[in-house]
Amino acid sequence: MLEILRRLVQAVTDAATLDEALTIIVTRIKDTMQTGVCSVYLLDESTDRWLLMATDGLNPDSVRLASLARTEGLVGTVGSRGELVNLDDAPNHPAFRFLRETGEEIFQSFLGVPIVHQREILGVLVVQQTTQRKFSDEEEALLVTVAAQISALIAHAKVSGRLHLSQTTGEKPTDVHFKGVAGIGGVATGTAFVRQPPAILRRVKDAKTDQPELELGEFHIALSEVKAELRQISDSLSEHLARKETALFDTYLRMLEDHTLSGEVCQRIRSGETATTALKYVVLDLVARFEAMDDTYLKERATDLLDLGRRILAKLLHEQSEALEYPDDVILIAEDVTPVMLGEVVTKSLKAIVSIKGSANSHVAILARGLGIPAVMGAVDLPLSDISGAYLIVDGWRGELIVEPSEHVLAEYQRAIDDAAILEMDLEQVEPGAAITEDGARVHLMLNAGPFGDLSDRQRSFIDGVGLYRTEFIFLARSRFPTEDEQESEYRAELETYAPMPVVMRTLDIGGDKSLPYFSIEEENPFLGWRGIRVTLDHPEIFLTQIRAMLRANSGSGNLRILLPMITTLEELRASRVLIERVVLELRAEGISVTKPEVGVMIEVPSAVYLAPELATEADFLSVGSNDLTQYLLAVDRTNARVADIFDGFHPAVLRALKITSTAGVNANIPVALCGEMAGDPLAAVLLVGLGFNELSMSSAALASVKRALGAFHLRECRQLATKALASESGKNVLRIVGHAFMEKQLHLLVPPNLRESFVMEVS
């Protein structure tokens, strides 16, 4: 059975068109189940009818002609209810509807199952038999299994097929929607430019050379040409981005200079391989090693390496990349958009990016955020070969594209584009200075610092310090643990940049989706495994070195606060404190003057929420990691796109956990901060203040909008909203309550467009 299914799925995957895929499905199922008929009906959205798309057994001339209204007939019953129907005497069922053109009067028994993809009913799969008999449980189970297996394939084939179909009939397709994952918020329109990778390494044929010196020379020329190109791209990007953001290109240059890549290529050339062959093997091997890593950050490095390898190959093959002709308003689309691809086009009015692979956390998305352009990632169903040159709307809020939008849809979106521009101008007017509520209550806005993002002077005036410095980036960017001195110099730079404001440095937080290439952690369930403080307490040598580096770095500025990630027990806090204490004494004994830093606990697992009162009496501050807390409270993997809809910081359960935490902090008279993504969402920020948080830590891009929102609310109003939200039954309700309050305050531009629209629809 499994084998039959596997072969069926494979055949459907390989099919060139939707029609071919559906024909394969009906013929194979009819054969396997030995029935008289197998047919597929798909919902035709333009007519809102179930259209017969393929059949084996009914009159083939009725394909694409015979159809049923949404609730009509047995097919309509299955399709509208989303439930299986199994009948031995179909013609006598009240819902039976006779379709003369299909010749189906001779069939007595009927089994229909819905084809459902992501809760959407795409169609109905039907088998019929001339004899009057009920299909068995096994037959039901088989058809349900087949329908579930093929639903994603049909969804994919259907969207590609729609484009094909319309092109061949000469009709202009309009408003074709594709779903991806929300990358960077914002809406843009423009022309699709599909960027093919520069050259394909896997296509290089193995070859030998008896002139290795010549090949070495060519390789070095190609390498320096790519380096020169990278420098040029980096320079042109630096006109638009902060230095820290373009530092990524320095990393690329280092990758090219790194002995692992060029050294190994040269060695293989010397042993008789041509430059292209040697390059292929070295790059693909390195890529495979990076891809095998669990960590998303390091997986991204595989993409970068592959891109660099292809660029060198293109030079070796003398392929011209300069010949690319970009349209005026570019929507850059690729299987895997790389930062270099983005750099090539940026000065030529890049409007948005769309990537089939990648996530909102990838570097290219971070660069796009810096450039202020929307991005849709993970658009897996997008048919790259059909899309080039099409006019598109990219909706980075919803993670959606609309191909060839109709005038009506375009007008709707144009309003969103205009609104975004107005909001940007409005946020530029936000006065410098700290954030206060309308009635003057001070809210400490803090910065989530990382390897990216310099602050402008105005942004710096908004903040009261760094609320989260993720030290793991220093560890991830190396091929071994950084030494104490290396760490010390990184930490010192960060502490001095923000002194005298406090800087919260989190101790190494690896495990989960972050593992080091030189310290691999392989687990079945990494998010429930060896993570954060669990790792560093088991490896005191790593922890002690890091604390020594932090305390030494702090000797001049004195603004360090230490934060412990993934605390689940009081013992972990106590054990960490003992080690920190030990370092203080050790350094003092060495004659280095150090002050005892404040030590805080991250509240990011449910046990820490319930222990918050005890933790608060022993810690100097609390800081909620709402990304992980939401993940663990709602049991939803924060990196899994399939359940991304369930990940909801507004969920009342999350808010109630936040309330318990803030109350514990307030009772113990210590600061309570929140440093997850929620803090940077203006709607959430107002609620958080109402829940009792007095420090919100966020990325630099969020500061102005959060300050703007807080300035429009009285503290009393924030608290009233929080009370209502805590009593709500769903995240949706909470969002509506807060969204409504924003609309009343004329802050509608800060409300996500889809929520805003729902309010407008209610009024009209």
Tell me the C-alpha distance between 136 and 286, whole Å.
53
92: exposed, middle or buried (Cβ count in 10 Å: 0-12, 13-18, 19+): exposed
Number of residues counted as binding ligand PEP (CB under 6 A): 10
Neighbouring residues of 40: CB distance < 8 A, sequence distance ≥ 6: 22, 25, 26, 52, 53, 54, 55, 115, 123, 124, 125, 126
Q: Are 279 and 297 in contact (CB under 8 A)?
A: no
- C-alpha distances in Å from residue 643, one per residue of 328, 628, 635, 638, 655: 37, 15, 10, 8, 20
Angle between helices 626-634 and 652-667 (to 10 degrees): 130
Tell me the C-alpha distance between 416 and 412, whole Å.
7
Least distance to ligand PEP, CB of residue 754, Å: 24
Among 73, 76, 186, 625, binds Mg ion (CB under 5 A): 625
The kind and range of the H/E element at 128 are: strand 120-129
Least distance to ligand PEP, CB of residue 654, Å: 11
Residue 114 touches which member of ligand PEP, Mg ion, none, C-beta under 5-8 Å by kind: none
* Interaction of residue 739 with Mg ion, rule CB under 5 A: no
Least distance to ligand PEP, CB of residue 236, Å: 32
Least distance to Mg ion, CB of residue 468, Å: 9
Among 675, 704, 721, 751, binds ligand PEP (CB under 6 A): 675
Neighbouring residues of 276: CB distance < 8 A, sequence distance ≥ 6: 204, 207, 313, 316, 317
Residue 626 touches which member of ligand PEP, Mg ion, none, C-beta under 5-8 Å by kind: ligand PEP
Q: Are 229 and 198 in contact (CB under 8 A)?
A: no
Least distance to Mg ion, CB of residue 624, Å: 10
Q: Which position has the token pair 């890091």?
A: 546
CA 710-714-715 angle, to 5 degrees, is 85
Is 712 strand, coil or helix?
Answer: coil
Residue 675 touches which member of ligand PEP, Mg ion, none, C-beta under 5-8 Å by kind: ligand PEP
631's tokens: 């993940």
Is 351 strand, coil or helix?
Answer: strand
Q: Are 88 and 134 in contact (CB under 8 A)?
A: yes
Q: Which of residues 485-514 bind ligand PEP (CB under 6 A)?
A: 509
Nearer to Mg ion, 628 or 681 (CB): 628
Q: Which position has the token pair 């099919």?
A: 15
Q: What is the DSSP letter of 136?
A: P
Q: Which of residues 583-642 bind ligand PEP (CB under 6 A)?
A: 604, 625-628
Among 676, 680, 690, 739, binds ligand PEP (CB under 6 A): 676
Nearer to ligand PEP, 494 or 509 (CB): 509
Nearer to ligand PEP, 155 or 675 (CB): 675
Least distance to ligand PEP, CB of residue 401, Å: 28
Least distance to ligand PEP, CB of residue 684, Å: 12
Site string for ligand PEP, 430-469 (x = CB under 6 A): --------------------------------------x-
Least distance to Mg ion, CB of residue 627, Å: 5
* Interaction of residue 628 with Mg ion, rule CB under 5 A: yes
Q: Give the amino acid at 197.
A: P
Is 646 strand, coil or helix?
Answer: coil
Is 720 strand, coil or helix?
Answer: helix
Span of 19-27, 100-108, 600-608, 713-721 interacting with Mg ion by CB under 5 A:
600-608
Tell me the C-alpha distance between 334 and 322, whole Å.
17
Nearer to ligand PEP, 487 or 697 (CB): 697
Angle between helices 137-169 and 2-14 (to 10 degrees): 0
Strand partners, 445: 463, 696
Residue 676 touches which member of ligand PEP, Mg ion, none, C-beta under 5-8 Å by kind: ligand PEP
Span of 58-66, 604-612, 632-640, 702-710 interacting with Mg ion by CB under 5 A:
604-612
Active site positions, annotated: 363, 675
CA 243-248-251 angle, to 5 degrees, is 125
Least distance to ligand PEP, CB of residue 622, Å: 13
Least distance to ligand PEP, CB of residue 365, Å: 15
465's tokens: 């310090």
Tell me the C-alpha distance between 21 and 154, whole Å.
8
* Interaction of residue 470 with ligand PEP, rule CB under 6 A: yes
* Interaction of residue 310 with ligand PEP, rule CB under 6 A: no
Q: Considering Cα of 674, then 679, then 684, then 688, what sign does the dihedral take?
A: positive
Tell me the C-alpha distance between 320 and 471, whole Å.
41
Nearer to ligand PEP, 604 or 681 (CB): 604
Tell me the C-alpha distance between 166 and 184, whole Å.
31
Least distance to ligand PEP, CB of residue 532, Å: 8
Q: Are 364 and 358 in contact (CB under 8 A)?
A: yes
* Interaction of residue 649 with Mg ion, rule CB under 5 A: no
Nearer to Mg ion, 307 or 509 (CB): 509
Tell me the C-alpha distance between 343 and 236, whole Å.
8
Nearer to Mg ion, 273 or 628 (CB): 628
Residue 161 touches which member of Mg ion, ligand PEP, none, C-beta under 5-8 Å by kind: none
- C-alpha distances in Å from residue 77, one per residue of 67, 117, 155, 176, 419: 14, 18, 21, 27, 43
Nearer to ligand PEP, 605 or 734 (CB): 605
Q: Are 503 and 469 in contact (CB under 8 A)?
A: yes
Q: Which position has the token pair 């390059």?
A: 279
HSE, CB side, 13 Å, CA atoms: give it for residue 638. Answer: 23
Span of 236-244, 556-564, 585-593, 627-635 interacting with Mg ion by CB under 5 A:
627-635
Residue 470 touches which member of Mg ion, ligand PEP, none, C-beta under 5-8 Å by kind: ligand PEP
Span of 77-85, 147-155, 576-584, 601-609 interacting with Mg ion by CB under 5 A:
601-609
Q: Are 271 and 282 in contact (CB under 8 A)?
A: no
Residue 215 touches which member of ligand PEP, Mg ion, none, C-beta under 5-8 Å by kind: none
Tell me the C-alpha distance between 430 and 747, whole Å.
13
Least distance to Mg ion, CB of residue 631, Å: 8
Contact residues for Mg ion, defined by CB under 5 A: 604, 625, 628
Contact residues for ligand PEP, defined by CB under 6 A: 468, 470, 509, 604, 625-628, 675-676
